[in-house]
Structure 1
Amino acid sequence: MHSLDVAAVLLRATLGLTMLAHGWNHVFGGGKIAGTARWFASIGMRPPLVHAWVASVSELGCGALLLAGALTPLACGGVLGTMVVALTTNHLRNGFFIFRPGEGYEYVLMISIVAVALAGVGAGYLSIDHAVDLPLSGFGAILTCVGLGFGGAGLTVATSWRPQAEPEPQ
């Protein structure tokens, strides 16, 4: 085992647990899935309940895959896609810092970059990918992650994001 394997485990654990917690909160926290759907409706995602479930299941599933180190570039692509949709539909217009009103994009940007980097590094020695001799890393894995992430996000935003028009100034 090398230092890169330790780094991969740390990245997978951090990103995987973060995504699991986020998905869990969408489904079971505060307003539960109904509250998540209401929030999706407020940012213009249609149909909101479908997107609340898709985002939540993606976060839970990708988080679990990352923790196990299974199909890592695909899991990273799922994380990236979810974050690019969040960036586009809500965070980008609010500036960089997360503490700004409406929440800025620093959080989703960081998660996005970590997902792409992890896809390139690979799951490492302590992973299912390694155990089944599935060498998923390098530029091909990065391209897979980026293609899936931006492709899925682009399709989602193009077909389902219908924000309300800003009122005209008086």
Structure 2
Amino acid sequence: MKTLTVPDETPVFPLRWVVATNDEAAPLVIRLMLALVLFPHGAQKLFGWFGGYGFDGTMQYFTETVNLPYLLALSIILIEFLSPFLLVAGLFTRVVGVLISLLFTGIILTAHVAIGFFMNWNGSQPGEGYEYHLLIVAMAVSLLISGGGKLSLDSKLAK
């Protein structure tokens, strides 16, 4: 594969669009808040922290109750656990944005859309609505559009 070059013949990272970003603060804030919100959910699924079922329990639920293929179930756990670390570092932010938006769109469509929009604040619904998940999708798509922004490793790789 031929390496792309800029007019002065300097080699360019072949997938530069993956790390392309600017020096704005808004993506930094979104990255950090999204990482903060996602980390406990990934830790629940992988380690059983914060009242979760851990890896074995989560895999059993995904593969036996929800009937997901093993690799898809594993991918869900890994995306939710590893994404916060990549977001904090601002590394491959656009890829993480794609993965999170796809994951949470799937969660909305398969588990929450039938319940409705609103969270189950008073316990009268059979589960949670999708408003939280929709905010996660919006944050992830925003990062897909903007990149990692200020203080991201993406900005270092893009140079």
Alpha-carbon separation, structure 2, partners of 1:79 and 1:73:
10
- CA positional deviation for 1:71: 1.2
2:46, 2:81 within 8 Å by CA — same for their partners in 1? no
Q: Aligned ranges for residues 1-170 of structure 1 at < 5 Å? A: 5-29=24-48, 30-41=52-63, 44-47=66-69, 49-99=70-120, 100-133=125-158
Residue 7 of structure 1 aligns to which amino acid in structure 2?
A: A
Task: Name whichever structure is richer in helix by fraction.
Answer: 1
Number of aligned pairs?
130
Q: Name the SS of the counterpart of 2:145 in structure 1.
A: helix
1:63, 1:75 within 8 Å by CA — same for their partners in 2? no
Residue by residue over 1:68-123, the C-alpha shift from the partner in whole angstroms, topping out at 9 and shown as x without a partner, is: 11111101011111101111110111101121322111111110011101221221
2:24, 2:149 within 8 Å by CA — same for their partners in 1? yes
- Normalised TM-score (structure 1): 0.68
1:37, 1:51 within 8 Å by CA — same for their partners in 2? no
Unaligned runs of 5+ in 2: 1-22
**Farther off after superposition, 68-77 or 96-105:** 96-105
1:55, 1:82 within 8 Å by CA — same for their partners in 2? yes
The alignment-based identity, stated in percent, is 32
Alpha-carbon separation, structure 2, partners of 1:6 and 1:77:
20
Q: Relative to 1, partners in 2 of residues 1:111 and 1:43: Cα closer, same or farther, differing over 3 Å?
A: farther
- What do you get for the CA RMSD once the two structures are aligned? 2.0
Alpha-carbon separation, structure 1, partners of 2:110 and 2:67:
8
- Normalised TM-score (structure 2): 0.72
Moved beyond 6 Å, runs of 4+: none
Residue by residue over 1:29-79, the C-alpha shift from the partner in whole angstroms, topping out at 9 and shown as x without a partner, is: 2321222234325763333x5443211101122222111111111010111
Alpha-carbon separation, structure 1, partners of 2:144 and 2:94:
5
Unaligned runs of 5+ in 1: 135-170
Alpha-carbon separation, structure 2, partners of 1:40 and 1:8:
32
1:5, 1:126 within 8 Å by CA — same for their partners in 2? no
Alpha-carbon separation, structure 2, partners of 1:38 and 1:102:
20
